Structure 1
Amino acid sequence: MKFLPSQIAFFMQSRSAQRNMRFLLRFVLLLVAVITLYSVLFHVIMDYEGRDYSWATGFYWTLTVMSTLGFGDITFLSDTGKLFTLVVLLSGIIFLLVMLPFTFIQFFYAPWLEAQTRLRAPRELPAETRDHVIIVGGDATALGLGRDLAQYAHPYVLLCADAQTALDLQDQGFSVAVGDYDDPETYRRLRVEQAAMLVALDGDVRNTNVAFTAREASPDIPVVCGADQDEAVDILTMAGGTHVFRFSSMLGQGLARRTLAGHMRTGVVGRFDDLVVAEAPVMRTGLVGHSLRDNDLRKVTGVNVVGVWERGRFQLPRPDAPLEASTVLVLAGTRQQMDAFDRHMGGRGVNDAPGGADRAGVIGVTGKFGEIGEAGRVDRTGGTSTAPASDEPVLILGGGRVGLAAARQFAETGIDYRIVEKNPRLVHDDIHTITGSAADLDVLERAGIREAPAVLVTTHDDDLNIYLTIYCRRLRPGIQIITRATLDRNIGILHKAGADLVMSHGSLVSNTVINLLNPGKVLMLSEGLNIFRAPVGLGLAGRTLKDSGIRDETGCSVVALRGPDGLSVNPDPALLLRSCDELILIGDSEAERRFLERYPDNAECEEV
């Protein structure tokens, strides 16, 4: 009973509801006047026929005739009375059976239902809400960020301008709130001053408004903005953006760095001080068909193989298992060790790449923990070809923001490329652009599909990307195909279509935000794969890495050890662990959980 008055009170606060109620009231008054007029005329005609009835009877007869009930207990005898009855009957059909229900539904019932819907959609967070993330944006990227934050048990709220959209998302399990993005009061109701971060994932113009408005409500809130255009970066920063990322450019650079072209074999995905984590596809190397023990990469190059990607799944390395062309190695070591690995694999080394040492390095988030590069979800499926590297141009299908970013990365590293684009507005008049449809064989042959070492599929349409991936795989079974995915759910489909590597725009955004939320604690390399810190507890102090059984018991690999003398990358397995040391480990989320349960932080810092 208390809920209904609150709904009506909320409904009546709206100006449109008040206007509708006034219109409905005028219609009811008109209807009452018509019924009263008919009742008076009823008595006049009855007097003409020589009969007398009470006023209550007059209203009774009028309502029964207008509502078409017509009991027949009171009828006129004269033709005048019968004609009057017809008029009352017809007007009753119009007023009571047509206009009254329509008016009631249109001006009261429907607005009241809408008010009920709006009342169900939350507009304010509880006062005790803290350390949550406010997400502004309603596309698949924003929803994916919400799902990933929930997976890591981090509170969040999606800000929606439309109540019905908010309720639909709420039914899907999302945490939502309704409000106007350009109203400072909206952010105050969402406890922005107590939030951990605000993330704006709309267009450049709206993101600018969001950042500027949120700054009015809370000057200190960290604001992360996505930028579509280069010129928008400075504007978003001036509007209040703490971190502004061109995610499309980051995605394009990530696709380019994983291309098997030129002379580089490794792609750096994360860095912590002197520790570098990189990925190296086994495709087109002498490692195919051989085991890690046979090659002894740690002894030859100094790098440590801490894991492998097998068709999108992270696994611990098996020393005696033969490596397949589909395998992607996860390497840990110093920059010099990565250079040694590249030279060992026949390349010229990361530091020898044109443009400086960082050209094959890291872009993206920098925090207390370290640095992460292309943090998007990657499906490391490898390929089936062992053909040698080629100096022929790499094909880029799609000349949008992602494709152009990949092209710029190729240009900086001295790798030739060709962009295939059919939209005249995106075509650049130079030797690197081929105008036409990527689904046209003649266009692809002019671009060099028959000789290209790799092809990048970079359009924003996943359906088209699947189509082009299947087409290119049929044309060139041995070519490396790297594909961009807009929606995470299409990664598996793109893999089945023939893509060797798939990078997700949504996961790139999610991983970037999550890394910013946990500086100094967790560094997410890709979805589910983290580098994290852990002190040497009582269960490990006094033991060597070799005897600790960390990898076998937890699934994590120790990639570095920080002690009094600084950071030691790939420490000697015979090194004795001390309780004042700090381990740097790599593993997926489940392996991290097992390690923290098996070896809790319960040691004092003392020499052993």
Structure 2
Amino acid sequence: MKYVPAQVVHFLRQRGAKRNLGALARFMFALLGLITLYSIVFHYVMQYEGREFSWLTGFYWTLTVMSTLGFGDITFHSDLGRLFSMLVLLTGIVCLMILLPFTIIQFFYAPWVEAQSAARTPRVLPEQTQGHVILTSHEPVSSALIRKLEQYGYDYVLVCEEIDEAMRLHDQGVRVVLGHLDDPQTYANARADKAVLVATTQNDVINTNVTFTVRQVNATLPVVATAATATSIDILDRAGATHVLHLGEMMGKALARCMVGGDAVTHVVGGVDDLLIAEANAQRTPLVGKSLRENALSEMGVSVVGIWDRGRLKSATPDTVVGEHAILLLAGSAAQLATYDENFVIYNVSVKPVVIIGGGRVGQAASRALSTRGVDWRLVDKESRYVPEGERGIVGDAADPDVLKRAGILDAPAVMITSPDDSLNIYLTIYCRSIRPDIQIISRATLERNVETLHRAGADFVMSYASMGSTSIFNLLKRGRVLTIAEGLEVSRHAVPESLAGKTIATCGVREQTGCSILGLRGEGGVLEINPKADTSLQAGREMILVGSSDSQAKFLDVFVEE
């Protein structure tokens, strides 16, 4: 009901509203005049028959006959009276059952429904709107990005071309604006001059059109576009995109980093200035079965900020034991990571090829990433056009045991499932696990809701396409202060609060009270000290770099900054 006043105002402001109300009023006056005329004639006909009734009775009889109720308590005895009754009845049928409903629908109800729709799907945002993100589609990546924007308090608006879709999304709680993606006025109406980012995740052709159109409205507004092919990256750059994300390539590389086959060295996944975050496989290394305290990785200068265990990111404490399927999330400088690599380069070397199921963009990108690492692979796909020639390409159905055996699944250290169909990936995960209970299974998930299902199906590591895409876009939005390394893990910068000034890292209680770890401190000369020692003193105003989950970061602000 809170929208009713806005709908009434919008309805009355429409150019045809007053005209429609006037037409409805004229019809009602004409109907009232006709009822009055029939009531007068009723008296004359009754006098003709020698009977007398009150004026109120005349109106009563006219309304009952015109509405076809016909109680039968008052009737004419003469043919003239019956002929008059038939005329009143037919007039009532035409006026009350045909013309009146049509008039109300045409001149009142339809405009009212249109006003309701317009109130739910505006074409113009309020003039005071600013600091928002403009989106162009509602697919998995944008949906995940919307949840992330809402979590961090960022305003946004989604441009919809179809009013039915706009109303459906509005009813789901999504803020929408109606307009054509190729119309500059749409972005002017969406207040692109005051926005902080445009993220377009349509196909390459539409993304190019959107980017070029936005540039007509705002030449400096950051535009992030996704690209399905390498060719489109250059075209989008020329159209004016600030950042182009080749998500298929990014997903393939990310999945390839999680493969146990090939090496146990570090692979950088992100960083803040000179501080790098890297992943390293622990399988078949001396780290397995020991706690982080026993492994003493800090002596190499690196910090373990988290551990991927069968696709779940766990916090790292000194007593955390490194499991057989663990992938370490390490923090350190380039030199510190190089020291780690020198100690573990001899481990986890496998000569057996890994199996890649699916020869699409993600599978092709993964194969290139594995080749760069020196890891052999076999690619399986039903379509011959998606597989390379020679022994590396296997044409056939991955659900066929003979096909997987030809690909070498009985000896492979890992299998990667890269299909965009989550249902198929779940099926293949269960199937591969039944063939090889000990193999590492890496799977892609298009939708975030299927990540847990794939884990239950037997996947050791699952990466969500939607989560990766939304995180990449969100990092570009918050690149100044916060970097999301993985789902739920963030690296952030803060000035040392007064509440921590003078305390050491060991005694400040940051880790114990919030779950965050201090990875770096910037000195007065701007030099970043990476992985500072526990006895390092915190000085007010110096910049500190924290790593922790989203909840841990929020708790740090509550406990130490906002107190």
User: Same fold by TM (over 0.5)?
Assistant: yes
Q: Deviations over 1:39-87 (max 9, x none)?
A: 9xx9xx99xx999xxxx99999998666433455787879999799879
User: Which residue matches 1:210?
Assistant: 210
Kindly indicate whether residue 558 of structure 2 is the aligned counterpart of residue 559 of structure 1. no
Asked whether the 8 Å contact 2:200–2:210 carries over to 1, the reply is: yes
Partner residue of 1:464 out of 420, 424, 430: 424
Aligned position for 2:331: 332
What is residue 354 of structure 1 aligned with on the other side?
none
Match of 1:586 among 547, 556, 561: 547
Cα distance, 1:539 vs structure 2: 4.2
Q: Give the deviation of 1:31 after TM superposition.
A: 11
Q: Which string of whole-angstrom CA distances, capped at 9 and with x for unpartnered residues, describes residues 175-215 of structure 1?
A: 33333322222222222111111111112222222222222
Asked whether the equivalents of residues 395 and 454 of structure 1 are also in contact (C-alpha less than 8 Å), the reply is yes
C-alpha distance after superposition, 1:266-288 (max 9, x if no partner): 33211233322112233333322
- Which residue of 1 is the match for residue 125 of structure 2? 125
| SS of residue paired to 2:307 | strand
Alpha carbons 1:11, 1:112 under 8 Å: kept: no
C-alpha distance in 1 between matches for 2:498 and 2:25: 79
1-side partners of 2:409 and 2:293: how far apart?
A: 37
Structure 2 CA distance for partners of 1:249 and 1:81, relative to 1, 3 Å: farther
Question: Equivalent residue for 2:305?
Answer: 306
Tell me the amino acid that sits aligned with residue 296 of structure 2: D
Structure 1 position 243, deviation (Å): 1.0
Residues 309 and 460, structure 2, Cα contact 8 Å, conserved in 1: no
Matched with 1:8 is 11
Partner of 2:192: 192
CA contact (8 A) 1:193 1:220 kept: no
Cα separation, 2, equivalents of 1:137 and 1:103: 39
Whether the aligned pair in 2 keeps the contact of 1:534 and 1:601 (CA below 8 Å) is no
2:161–2:178 contact (8 Å) kept in structure 1: yes
Write out per-residue CA displacement over residues 351-399 of structure 1, whole angstroms, 9 at most, x where no aligned residue.
xxxxxxxxxxxxxxxxxxxxxxxxxxxxxxxxxxxxx653222222222
Shift of 1:537: 4.3
Correspondence 1:252 to 2:252:
yes
Distance across 2 between alignment mates of 1:99 and 1:418: 74
Secondary structure, counterpart of 1:285 in structure 2: coil
Partner letter of residue 324 of structure 1? G
Whole-angstrom CA distance in 1 between matches of 2:141 and 2:212: 22
Cα 1:105–1:290 change in 2 (3 A) is same
Superposed, 1:370-519 pairs within 5 Å as 390-423=350-383, 426-427=386-387, 429-519=389-479
C-alpha distance 186-321 of structure 1, shift in aligned 2 (>3 A)? closer
Q: Within 1, Cα distance between the matches of 2:365 and 2:346? A: 24
**Amino acid of the residue matched to residue 229 of structure 1?**
T
Describe the superposition over 1:517-575 as per-residue Cα deviations: whole angstroms up to 9, x where unpaired. Answer: 22331111123211122334444444443344432233222222322372232233344
Equivalent in the alignment of 1:344: 343
Query: Greater shift after overlay, 151-160 or 78-87?
Result: 78-87
In 1, Cα distance between equivalents of 2:365 and 2:27: 64
Q: CA deviation at 1:496?
A: 1.1
Following superposition, the deviation at residue 315 of structure 1 comes to 4.3
In the alignment, the residues of structure 2 paired with residue 87 and residue 506 of structure 1 have an alpha-carbon distance, to the nearest angstrom, of: 69
Q: Structure 2 stretches of 5 or more lacking a match? A: none
Give the deviation of 1:222 after TM superposition: 0.9
3-state secondary structure, aligned to 1:545: coil
**Cα gap change, 1:71 to 1:294, in 2 (>3 Å):** closer
Equivalent positions of 1:108-187 (< 5 A) are 109-110=109-110, 112-187=112-187
The separation in 2 between residues aligned to 1:390 and 1:99, in whole angstroms, is 83
1:319 Cα deviation after fit: 2.3
* Post-superposition offset of 1:479: 0.9
* Partners of 2:483 and 2:491 within 8 A in 1: yes
Alignment partner of 2:505 out of 545, 553, 564 = 545
Alignment pair present for 1:225 and 2:225: yes
In structure 2, relative to structure 1, the CA distance for the partners of 1:93 and 1:543 (3 Å cut) is closer
Q: 1:199 to 1:544 in 2, by over 3 A?
A: same
Q: Give the Cα–Cα distance (whole angstroms) in 1 for the partners of residues 394 and 103 of structure 2.
A: 62
Q: 1:8 to 1:419 in 2, by over 3 A?
A: same
Partner of 1:243 in structure 2?
A: 243
Identify the range of structure 1 (73-82 vs 392-401) with the bigger mean alpha-carbon deviation: 73-82
3-state SS in 1 of match to 2:134: strand
Contact residue 397 and residue 455 of structure 1 kept, 8 A: yes
Q: 1:452 to 1:108 in 2, by over 3 A?
A: farther
Q: Which residue of 2 aligns with 1:372?
A: none
Distance, in Å, in 2 between the alignment partners of 1:436 and 1:23 is 70
Amino acid at match of 1:450: L
Q: Which amino acid aligns with 2:358?
A: G
TM superposition shift of 1:233:
1.7
Partner deviation per Cα, 1:375-431 (whole Å, 9 max, x = no partner): xxxxxxxxxxxxx65322222222222112112222333322222222466455554
Per the TM alignment, residue 342 of structure 1 is displaced from its structure 2 partner at its CA by 3.3
1:263 is matched by which residue type in structure 2? D
Partners of 1:13 and 1:26 in 2: how far apart?
15
Letter in 2 for 1:588: S
Residue 526 of structure 1 corresponds to: 486
Kindly provide the amino acid, as one letter, of the partner of residue 399 in structure 1. G
What is the deviation of 1:150? Answer: 1.0
| Contact 1:535/1:601, CA 8 A, preserved across alignment | no
Q: Distance in 2 between matches of 1:435 and 1:23?
A: 71
* Corresponding residue number in structure 1 for 2:263: 263
Give, in angstroms, the shift of residue 225 of structure 1: 0.8
Query: What is the distance in 2 between the residues matched to 1:217 and 1:241?
Result: 14
Pair 1:238–1:90, CA change in 2 (3 A) = same
SS at match of 2:506: helix
Contact 1:314 1:588 in 2 (8 A): no
Q: CA deviation at 1:125?
A: 2.8
In 2, are the aligned partners of 1:258 and 1:267 still within 8 Å (CA)? no
Question: 2:310·2:459 contact (CA, 8 Å) conserved in 1?
Answer: no
CA distance 1:78–1:404, shift in 2 (3 Å): farther
TM superposition score normalised by structure 2: 0.84
CA distance in 1, matches of 2:21, 2:214: 36
Taking the aligned partners of 1:160 and 1:75, their CA distance within structure 2 comes to 61
Shift of 1:489: 1.6
What residue ranges of structure 1 are gaps of 5+ in the alignment? 349-387, 603-608
- Structure 1 residues 46-61: aligned runs within 5 Å: none
RMSD: 4.2
Q: TM-score, normalised by structure 1?
A: 0.78
Superposed CA offset, 1:137-171 (max 9, x none): 11122121111011112222222233443343334
Q: Please report how far the alpha carbon of residue 309 of structure 1 lies from its aligned counterpart in structure 2 after TM superposition.
A: 3.7
Paired with 1:601 and 1:426, the residues of 2 have a C-alpha distance of 55
Deviation at 1:477, TM superposition (A): 1.0
Q: Secondary structure at the match of 1:280?
A: strand
The CA deviation at 1:463 is: 1.5
Letter of the structure 2 residue corresponding to residue 124 of structure 1: V
